[in-house]
Amino acid sequence: MEILSFIIPFIILLTVVVFIHEYGHYYFAKRYGVGVTDFSIGFGKEIFGFNDKSGTRWKFCLIPLGGYVKFFGDRNVFSQAEQEELLKKYSEEDQKKLFVTKPLYQRSLVVAAGPLANFALAILIFSFIYMFAGKDFTPAQIQEVQKDGPAYSSGIKAGDIILSINNKKVNSILEVSTYINTASTENIDIKVLRDSNEIILNVTPMIVKGEDSLGNKVNKKIIGIKISPPNSEFNREKLGPATALFYAVKETWFVTMASLDFIASMFKGKGDTTQLGGPIKIAKITGQVAQHGFIAFLSIMAYISISLGFINLFPIPMLDGGHLMFYAFEKILGRPLTQRTQEGFFRIGLFLLISLMFFTTFNDLKDLGLF
């Protein structure tokens, strides 16, 4: 029964974010007259499904680790190779339903719509949370400073109120740890309010092995401070639609940029690759978060949706970003890449994705104590 408490929330979350992603592709494909033969949640053998009036097969498949939209006439969903040979196989009426006959901007929008739908879902979820559950605006006041710790050495004092970290405005006491741990630089600038004066102090965090709020082992950056709300009172406000939307967009942008900084730091050899996880780790965290209630579950769904949209924009063949890369080449060259060239790129993309899958699976198993 315990394993079901992890698997069921994970399947629900994954089904929602994958459906939204694929529906983004589907919506723009239908808008531009592209024929859609399959809309699948999951891979492998079909469990159940139905056909709609336009002939699209909507189905759920056995392996719930993704999904796809298959377009009329395409062996590969977004194949652009050898158009003339392909067109000979179809009547003039059917040619109008082919994805490859659409203008470049329409094809690009159909491809980009999947990741963009994931970002839109995250913004919608955050807006809902801020409107109905509220957003914390408690000032981050420092109660204690650890003697000889990084904060102490930099001149931070008890009673200081943190205003920003690396030029990111701190609106809530809850943001301090997040901004410190997602900083991609060795040193961070912390602006504090002290006796009505704003002071910027440079701090070098220590990295220690610890646990997150769910009890999972992580490498944490700490600066040796204890934060508490002024007068021990938290300030949580329910926001209006416009304000909620503003902060929702801001949060989505922050998570996306933090992810980009993390990827960049890995290429520089400075990123903590132990934090990368695959389906097992995501399922574990989803199950843990779901136990804290519906709002917490919605929050993790938003963050996973952002991650799915972000990863799919990587310029790797087999991902949406890879197809957009092909369209960029097509725009520059004035013609699609040849089938042979695309197949070469796809082999590289497959190798990269399989390598990433093995690496994240190893991290997942290590996290479970199996290595």
Residue ranges covered by each domain of the chain: 4-132+304-367, 136-237
Closest CA to 74 of 110, 27, 109, 49: 110
| Chain centroid offset of residue 327 CA | 23
CA distance 191 to 250: 20
pLDDT at 364 over 80: no
**Average pLDDT, rounded, for the chain:** 85
Residues 6+ apart with CB under 8 A from 226: 142, 143, 144, 145, 146
Band (pLDDT 50/70/90 cuts) for residue 288 is: confident
pLDDT of residue 276: 66
Confidence tier at 77 by pLDDT (50, 70, 90): very low
Q: What gap in Å lies between CA 69 and CA 178, rounded to an integer?
A: 36
Summarize pLDDT for 171-216 with one digit per residue, the tens.
988 888 888 888 878 889 999 999 889 999 999 998 887 666 666 6
Element (H, E) at 10: helix 4-31
Q: Across 11-15, 81-85, 358-362, which has the greatest mean pLDDT?
A: 11-15
> Which pTM value belongs to this model?
0.88
Structural contact between residues 112 and 312, judged by C-beta atoms closer than 8 angstroms: no
When pLDDT is averaged across residues 15-27 and rounded to a whole number, the result is 96
Q: Which of 2, 22, 84, 343 is catalytic?
A: 22
Strands 197-203 and 236-237: unpaired
**Beta-carbon contacts of residue 18 (< 8 Å; ≥ 6 apart):** 41, 66, 67, 308
Residue 338 DSSP symbol? P
Q: Which residue has the higher pLDDT, 304 or 74?
A: 304
pLDDT category at 356 given cuts 50, 70, 90 is confident
> Which amino acid type is present at position 134?
G
Q: What is the pLDDT of residue 269?
A: 65
Tell me the residue type at 196: S
Enclosing H/E stretch for 224:
none
More confident of the two residues 294 and 365? 294
Cα(270)–Cα(128) distance, integer angstroms: 36
For 218, the token pair is 């992580």
Looking at residue 57, its pLDDT comes to: 94
**22 carries an active-site annotation:** yes
pLDDT band at 28 (very low <50, low <70, confident <90, very high): very high
pLDDT at site 47: 93
Query: For residue 306, which of 23, 176, 116 has the smallest C-alpha distance?
Result: 116
Alpha-carbon distance of 341 to 327, in angstroms, equals 13
Highest-confidence range of 67-81, 108-122, 147-161, by mean pLDDT? 108-122
Q: What is the dihedral of CA 342, 346, 352, 353, to 10 degrees?
A: 140
Residue 241 has pLDDT above 90, yes or no: yes
Q: Which CATH superfamily is domain 136-237 in?
A: PDZ domain (2.30.42.10)
Q: How confident is the model at residue 267 (pLDDT cuts 50, 70, 90)?
A: confident
Please state, in angstroms and rounded to a whole number, the distance separating the CA atoms of residues 14 and 67.
10
Asked if pLDDT for residue 129 goes beyond 60, the answer is yes
Contact, 353 vs 314, CB < 8 A?
no
